[in-house]
Amino acid sequence: MPEQPAQGGPEITELRRSSRDPEEVRRRLQSWLVRRLPAGSAPSVPEVHPTEATGVSTETLLFEARWTEDGRERSEQLVARVAPDRVDVPVFPTYDMERQFRVIRLVGEHSPVPVPRVWWLELDATALGTPFFVMGRVEGQVPPDVMPYNFGDSWLFDASPADRSRLQQSIVEVLAQLHGMDRPEETFAFLRYERSGSTALRRHVADRAAWYEFAAAGLHSALIERGLAWLDDHLPTDEGPTVLSWGDSRVGNVLFRDFAPVAVLDWEMAGLGPRELDLAWLVYSHRAFEDLAAEFALPGMPDFLRRDDVVAQYESITGHTPRHLDFYLTYAAVQWAIVFLRTGLRQVHFGEIEMPDDVDALLRNGEPLERMLAGKYWE
């Protein structure tokens, strides 16, 4: 999930996500590897580096691991995905690391979508303080969240129109490949939301409403609550087949090489639901950054990931005509507002901003969401 820029403008280049000490994490990772690998492996972890370019709710730590295997020294570039500490105002109420681990493994086994190799899953919180899993590091470029890639001074912003178009086509193809997997409700049965509702979409919306209650931490966002009521009033009755939904289908969650995906990341929002969930999230996630760029009088990337273009590309690949996009795009905007609420409270927690008198002032997409609920945003 994306982090929100600072309230005052686009000068912030890093946002605090964790209170963990990297050196302590390095020592504990090394000790954990001693227990994980065979006796005599003598593992070492020279350094640990948290990521800074992208804002995600799960902590992402880059590290090198060295150990002895069959009499030879082995070195692997690895990534640890670590559930956040409760004291650091996590975005989600729970972090099921086994769930994420299984999704990545199964996507790799059942589709051509590129995902990292998963190495180890550790559910014992004593190792690092919270559960985590380790996967292989893939070399590539990721469109940054901080500052957003469309604010300028990023490899994607500076790319040619032809290269941007190629990247856009490639990410739509990823969605088509995910949605084309056979028997998703069987393969990914563990992703079914255990909420009230007669369909996958209704359970999905109920899950997000429960997420809002957690994220608000006893506060009330009048705008988000209006958005949730609007969703209840406009739920499609013909949602179509259920597919694997990536959930956080943003270009900022993909590693690219030569403008083609080499690793699809961040599966903590994965679930089961209609195809349009991912399509709308892809389109709106870029529009949210475009709205922020306009707020700071920046040119942005208005020709990238346009609604009609993405729909036409997806339909051309799959033969499926996306439906009810106004609903799904509004749904995406409401979820982004929940993210902004929670990450805003995190910034208050770390002393980066003051708590505003009106909770809705934390919602960086508040004004666009107001227009969306009034039916005036896409005019």
Arithmetic mean of pLDDT, 317-339: 97
CA angle 195, 279, 362 (to 5 degrees): 70
Per-residue model confidence as pLDDT tens digits over 246-298:
999 999 999 999 999 999 999 999 999 999 999 999 999 999 999 999 999 99
Q: Which fold has domain 149-373?
A: Aminoglycoside 3'-phosphotransferase; Chain: A, domain 2 (3.90.1200)
Per-residue pLDDT tens digits for 44-79: 999 998 876 554 467 899 999 999 999 999 999 999
pLDDT reported for residue 195: 84
Q: Answer yes or no: is pLDDT of 118 > 60.
A: yes
Tell which residue, 117, 97, 98, 120, has the closest CA to residue 109.
117
- B/e letters for 113-146, b = 16+ CB within 10 Å, e = fewer, are bbbbebbebbeeeebbbbbbbbbebbeebbbbbb
pLDDT in tens, 95-108: 899 999 999 999 99
Q: Where are the domains of the chain?
A: 22-136, 149-373
Could you report the per-residue pLDDT of 78-87, keeping only the tens digit for each? 999 998 887 7
pLDDT, tens digit, 9 for 90 and up, residues 18-30: 567 888 999 999 9
Q: What is the DSSP string of 100-146?
A: HHHHHHHHHHHSS---PPEEEEE--TTTTSS-EEEEE----B---BT
Write out the CATH class of domain 22-136: alpha beta
pLDDT band at 2 (very low <50, low <70, confident <90, very high): low
Active-site residue, from 145, 248, 266, 360: 248
70 is known as an active-site residue: no
The pLDDT of 111-124, averaged and rounded, is 97
pLDDT tens track for 147-195 = 999 999 999 999 999 999 999 999 999 999 999 999 999 999 999 998 8
Quick one: three-class SS letters along 203-224? HHHHHHHHHHHHHHCCCCCHHH
